[in-house]
A and B are shown apart, each in its own frame.
Chain A
Amino acid sequence: MSPALSMLERAPARPAESPTNPSAPTRTTPILPLRLEEVCYEAGGKRLIDRISLTFGGGARSVILGPNGAGKSLLLRLCHGLIAPSAGHVSWAAPPAIAVQHRQAMVFQRPVLLRRSVEANVAYPLRLRGVGARARAARVAEALARAGLSALAKQPARSLSGGEQQRLAIARAWVMDPEVLFLDEPTANLDPAAARAIEELIESVHRSGAKIILTTHDLGLAQRLADEVIFLHAGRVRECKAATGFFTQPETAEAEAFLKGNLTW
């Protein structure tokens, strides 16, 4: 496999200064690009992620595509720092003094919602970061409005439908104003209408300036959302290129088979 390259390495689309935290000087230093060098991950004697090198620049919507078991979720967790690589390095461009964990967010395949109200769920990350009550209320209201959940603000989070829960999880991530948003199979297990709403919401997050990195095995979703595609198979990156090129001219046999729907494993 050739060394990975980011197709769309350009200046981040997000404003250099966050409106919610105007005085923080670290905000002027972007944390992207995210660089993976020869990253491996092993569990139970098996190499599940095999020497992946990648660079995620700002702006583009990167879609990690591949069949089940390819290692997409593991790769996302390695990027987000939830698990540590067995070998290799994951590094952000920001200097070590900057708390990169506070400037990225992840939405899990099955949303983990707190046993609280909808608005309390959205307020939660802000509380963790010590945002004052007044600023918090304003930002929560805004995030709920953007996710179309304002009417459900007082409802217990766990009483929502699957699609609403996923939207809530995205709103909770968005409220932190992350520079990077990771999403793991965001529309799996959702009916088409709910999935459509999620896709629109992801679009809005992206338009607001956040880098999107998401995994999916859903070709349709990838075609609608991807700027660049990272095709993963058996723990290795097989292709990494602009979406248009990938869908029209796949370079590897596996990608071709996957695009034809012949590769389910």
Chain B
Amino acid sequence: MNDLTAAFGLALQMLLTLDADLTEIVGLSLRVSFTAVGLAALLGLPLGAAVALYRFPGRRVLAVLLNAFMGLPPVVVGLVVYLMLSRSGPLGVLGLLFTPGAMIVAQCLLVLPIIAALSAQTVADLREEYDEQLRSLAAGPLQRLVTLLWDGRFSLLTAILAGFGRAIAEVGAVMIVGGNIAHSTRVMTTAIALETSKGDLALALGLGIVLIALAVTVNLLALGLRDVARPQYA
């Protein structure tokens, strides 16, 4: 119980004093996760929409895989990315291992199925409504995909936020491919794991509280923006 109260105190203190180490770690966490989610969205939104819109061989299998991979264990993703990026692996020459770049790749892979599967659902729902009209307007396959993604933008934001939540909160993958190197690849979650293993539970929990506050803030901002814009368009 002492640790709990101490944790809140520490979290507050770290936030109020803008502790230098903390801001560095928070900054890297945000940079890595935003970039990973951005990339995953860039790939996952069209992928999900394609699964929802087009008929192609292997579509069913892909849809099932995307859904199944929403629960991909981060450690496994981390391990696979490690083996790919290791100097002894096929992509070793890139020298990405133990850099933020490797963490971005791992989180991107982790988040991609979530964004793709959720956007497939959103686009499929929207397609029900739009399909005849778009065919009447002679929209091409690519045009239909872009139209549905754009018109589904407010719902798709939820998919992206789900991906962001997953990325910012996972520890298994970034620990393996980032190495939790101080001032280099240490992010919120690996710092929490480190402080836990040092037995400094109050500090670990304090960092955890900061992480949750961060996730809540990002969600509030995004959803707030959406709610300002959406009522008129929905």
Contact = CB atoms under 8 A, between A and B. Distances in A.
The answer to whether any beta carbons of A and B sit under 8 Å apart in the complex is: yes
Interface of A: 77, 80, 82, 99, 101-102, 105-106, 108, 112, 114-116, 124-125, 128, 155-156, 158-159, 176
A101 B138 contact: yes
Given A116-B151, A125-B137, A158 B143 contact: no
Contacts of B140: 128
B137 A158 contact: no
13 contacts: A99-B138, A105-B137, A106-B136, A108-B133, A112-B133, A115-B153, A115-B154, A115-B234, A128-B137, A128-B140, A128-B143, A155-B232, A158-B233
Nearest to A105: B136
A82 B139 contact: no
Interface string B137-166: 111100100010001011000000000000
A176 B232 CA distance: 26
Question: What DSSP secondary structure best describes chain A's contact surface?
Answer: mixed
A114 B147 contact: yes
B138 A128 contact: yes
B151 A82 contact: no
Contacts, number: 44
B129 interface: yes
A114 B151 contact: yes
A174 B232 CA distance: 25
Contacts of A101: 138
A158 B132 CA distance: 18
Interface of B: 129-130, 132-133, 135-140, 143, 147, 151, 153-154, 232-234
Nearest to A125: B137
Nearest to B140: A128
A125 B133 CA distance: 11
Contacts of A82: 132, 135-136
Contacts of A116: 151, 233
Contacts of A124: 137, 147
A101 B132 CA distance: 13
Given A115-B151, A124-B147, 20 more contacts: A80-B136, A82-B132, A82-B136, A105-B136, A105-B137, A106-B136, A108-B132, A108-B133, A108-B136, A112-B129, A112-B132, A114-B147, A114-B151, A128-B138, A128-B139, A128-B140, A155-B232, A156-B233, A158-B232, A159-B232
Nearest to B136: A106
Contacts of A115: 151, 153-154, 233-234
A254 B159 CA distance: 54
A156 B233 CA distance: 5
B218 to A, nearest CB: 24
Q: Which 3 A-B pairs have the closest CB atoms?
A: A156-B232, A112-B133, A101-B138
A77 B140 CA distance: 19
A150 B205 CA distance: 58
Nearest to B126: A115
Contacts of B133: 108, 112
B37 to A, nearest CB: 23
B125 to A, nearest CB: 13
A124 B151 CA distance: 12
B85 to A, nearest CB: 41
A24 B130 CA distance: 30
Nearest to A103: B138
Contacts of B130: 112, 114
Contacts of B153: 115
Contacts of A108: 132-133, 136
B130 to A, nearest CB: 6
A114 B154 CA distance: 13
Contacts of B151: 114-116
A70 to B, nearest CB: 20
Contacts of B233: 115-116, 156, 158
Contacts of B147: 114, 124
B144 to A, nearest CB: 10
B49 to A, nearest CB: 15
Contacts of A156: 232-233
Nearest to B153: A115
B136 A158 contact: no
Give the residue among B137, B154, B234 with the most A Cβ atoms within 10 A: B137
A90 to B, nearest CB: 15
Give the residue among B130, B138, B139, B143 with the most A Cβ atoms within 10 A: B138
A41 to B, nearest CB: 15
